[in-house]
Amino acid sequence: MFWNKEIECINRDELEKLQSQRLQSMVQRIYNNVPFYKKKFDELGINPKDITSVKQLSSLPFTYKSDLRDNYPFGLCAVPQQQIVRLHASSGTTGKATVVAYTQNDLDLWTEVIARSYTMAGISNSDTMQVSYGYGLFTGGLGAHYGAEKVGASVIPMSGGNTKKQLQLMEDFGSTVLACTPSYAAFLGESIVSANILDKIKLKIGVFGAEPWTEEMRQYIQNTMNIKAYNIYGLSEIIGPGVSMECECQNGSHIYEDHFIPEIINPETGEVLPEGELGELVFTAITKEALPLLRYRTRDLCTLTYEKCACGRTLARMGRIVGRSDDMLIVRGVNMFPSQVETVLLELPETTPHYAIIVDREGNLDTLEIHVEVAEQYWTDEMKQLDAIKKKITHALSNMLSLNPTVKLVEPNAMQRFEGKAQRVTDRRKL
Ligand code: DLL
């Protein structure tokens, strides 16, 4: 069993003590072993020996994704190459990949936090887990894989894609748990329904993450596949999936604070925000050996609460990621997030969760086009009926966004499906 009650229900004063000890030793380690951090500390006049409490965290410098890129590939590693046993990388839209390294202890830690996560969702050795995240440099596949083995589940290392085979093995092997991105889950769900095999599959739990998804998307997936869907969060730079996970209360995701210290900051000023305020999530990985990042700027926007959860856990909970500070679109001066579009569309029965947002510029004016796929049962050759649907969607989107988008209706199954992370926004203004 990986229900680590001693830690997950820990008294918060005790937790603070543990975090302080770990932070103290981490700060010393990065100062001694990573020239990048030594230089930063020296420039700021910080003596690592003076850092003895988590209360001092906000006085320490941030680490940015650009720091990893500038020190590509291994410049921020705190251990010699001989101790590194695994490398992963995440590719961004621009520039070089972000490389992350693991020692054996880091891999054990990763496996442990995923095992704790799966246990939180009620997954055990009685389950068969289909891992449909990509295996490879992306941390989704292998992360889920080792964690699932640790809880004793029978693991099917499917990787992403080949949807027909996914359904066949799901049926033949009796998969009870599905692990993939929410957008692929939505697609798999639709494929199960259209193949008319819902009564032949045994899925009961889904653990989905790697991209933002809304509560409406959760309902859509749960209803299509008749499962309970859980949110798992993480990022390669901190460890991969398993930085936080939802418990059965599904009221925020518990952060494994014994290893990853969260902060919410104002992304403009860097100032730490009070509990409950929306801002950028920052993590310090206090126990990682190969890549112990200090105050890493995730760019993910969410809230934090330290209130004890109804499940008994005292670990901080993060709200859903509402967007990334670099995902926010400013259209005609108005801030908008793709998740707002998803919320609106999934509340309307006429649409599917497959959509695209296209921002462009005509002259000096931004244009916003939203391509919306019509649900099969609402598609018709009657222009009048389609016009009414379009009007309804435009009205709902305009209300939510305070913008007047041009809505284009797309026929059922015509929008692109994604097997990994979905790419829904095209901003032609930047091209
Ligand atoms: O996506 C790790 C992961 C794999 C998490 C599988 C969960 C499941 P990266 O490729 O480095 O790592 O991307 C990290 O993905 O900063 C968020 O913007 C986004 N993200 C990950 N999980 C969630 C989630 C993996 N549950 C980036 N909700 C993060 C919203 C998420 N966004």
For atom 14 of ligand 1, which residue has the closest CA? 235
Gap from CA of 233 to ligand 1 centroid (Å): 5
Gap from CA of 300 to ligand 1 centroid (Å): 9
Are 271 and 354 contained in the same domain? no
Looking at the structure of the chain, the number of domains it has is 2
For residues 64 and 265, the answer to whether their CB atoms sit within 8 Å is no
Domain boundary at 265, 294, 322, which? 322
For atom 28 of ligand 1, which residue has the closest CA? 212
Are 259 and 379 contained in the same domain? no
Are 305 and 359 contained in the same domain? no
Are 178 and 36 contained in the same domain? yes
- The reported pLDDT for the residue numbered 263 is 98
Domain boundary at 281, 303, 322, which? 322
What CATH number does residue 239 fall under?
A: 3.40.50.12780
Are 333 and 293 contained in the same domain? no
- The reported pLDDT for the residue numbered 95 is 65
- How far is the C-alpha of 52 from the C-alpha of 24, rounded, in Å? 5
Residues with CB under 6 A from ligand 1: 90, 133, 138-140, 209-212, 231-236, 240-241, 298, 300, 321, 324
Are 316 and 336 contained in the same domain? no
Gap from CA of 76 to ligand 1 centroid (Å): 21
- The reported pLDDT for the residue numbered 405 is 97
CB atoms within 10 A of CB 199: 6
- Cα three-residue angle 270-62-426, rounded to 5 degrees: 75
Domain boundary at 304, 322, 340, which? 322
Gap from CA of 242 to ligand 1 centroid (Å): 10
Are 94 and 18 contained in the same domain? yes
DSSP-derived 3-state class of residue 244: strand
- The Cα-based distances of 44 to 40, 59, 61, 146, 390 in angstroms read 6, 10, 8, 40, 56
Please report the sign of the dihedral spanned by the C-alpha atoms of residue 41, residue 46, residue 47, residue 50.
negative
Instruction: Quick: pLDDT tens for 180-193.
Output: 999 999 999 999 99
- The reported pLDDT for the residue numbered 319 is 98
- The reported pLDDT for the residue numbered 1 is 59
Are 301 and 426 contained in the same domain? no
Are 178 and 269 contained in the same domain? yes
- How far is the C-alpha of 282 from the C-alpha of 80, rounded, in Å? 26
Strand order in the sheet with 296-302: 260-265, 279-285, 296-302, 323-324
Mutate to test the pocket of ligand 1, among 232, 300, 318, 342 (most ligand atoms within 8 A of CB): 300
- The reported pLDDT for the residue numbered 113 is 98
What CATH number does residue 374 fall under?
A: 3.30.300.30
Mutate to test the pocket of ligand 1, among 211, 297, 325, 425 (most ligand atoms within 8 A of CB): 211
Gap from CA of 301 to ligand 1 centroid (Å): 12
Are 304 and 406 contained in the same domain? no
Backbone phi, psi, residue 386, to 5°: -65, -40
Are 73 and 150 contained in the same domain? yes
Which atom of ligand 1 is found nearest the CA of 240? 2
Please report the sign of the dihedral spanned by the C-alpha atoms of residue 191, residue 193, residue 198, residue 202.
positive
Gap from CA of 140 to ligand 1 centroid (Å): 8
Give me the tens of pLDDT residue by residue for the chain, a chain 431 residues long.
578 889 999 999 999 999 999 999 999 999 999 999 999 999 999 999 999 999 999 999 999 999 999 999 999 999 999 999 999 998 765 567 899 999 999 999 999 999 999 999 999 999 999 999 999 999 999 999 999 999 999 999 999 999 999 999 999 999 999 999 999 999 999 999 999 999 999 999 999 999 999 999 999 999 999 999 999 999 999 999 999 999 999 999 999 999 999 999 999 999 999 999 999 999 999 999 999 999 999 999 999 999 999 999 999 999 999 988 888 899 998 989 999 999 999 999 999 999 999 999 999 899 999 999 999 999 999 999 999 999 999 999 999 999 999 999 999 999 999 999 999 999 999 76
Range of the domain at 152: 1-322
Mutate to test the pocket of ligand 1, among 184, 207, 235 (most ligand atoms within 8 A of CB): 235
Are 317 and 353 contained in the same domain? no
Gap from CA of 428 to ligand 1 centroid (Å): 25
Gap from CA of 192 to ligand 1 centroid (Å): 25
